[in-house]
Amino acid sequence: MRILGNFLWLIFGGLEAAIGYFTSSVALAITIVGIPWAVQIFKIGLLCLWPFGAEVESTNSLNGCLRIPLNILWFIFGGLWSWICHIFFGTLLCITIIGIPWGKQHYKMARISLAPFGKTIIRK
């Protein structure tokens, strides 16, 4: 199911979404100041390429006071819009019984796109 789900995901929009995340990651990386956010966008893009079989877990990668301001800036300048898009498409897909597995993947991506600093992706 994991391979078939990922294959269908890539065909029906996952590849385009991942390319969008990768493009914005490169654009932010060019501006030296945006490198921390570019790394997080790249992480979401990788999840967007192959979401089935991956889990999002909290980690202590950034200690204490750094994670919170970075997540706040992320939320203000793009995280909210990314979260809204993933919630919208996840809800749209969950309307049908066939689309529920893909809707769950959008909800997984919404969780990481709201505040990506301090989260990691675990492949199973």
Residues 115, 77 contacting (CB under 8 angstroms): no
Which pLDDT value is given to residue 67?
A: 84
Residues 86, 107 contacting (CB under 8 angstroms): yes
Sign of CA dihedral 56, 58, 63, 68: positive
DSSP-assigned states of every residue in 69-94:
HHHHHHIIIIIHHHHHHHHHHHHHHH
Tokens (6 digits) for 83 = 């979260």
* Domain spans of the chain, in order of start: 2-123
Residue 46 — very low, low, confident or very high, per pLDDT cuts 50/70/90?
Answer: very high
pLDDT digits (tens, 9 = 90+) for 87-100: 999 999 999 999 99
Q: Which one is predicted more confidently, 59 or 47?
A: 47
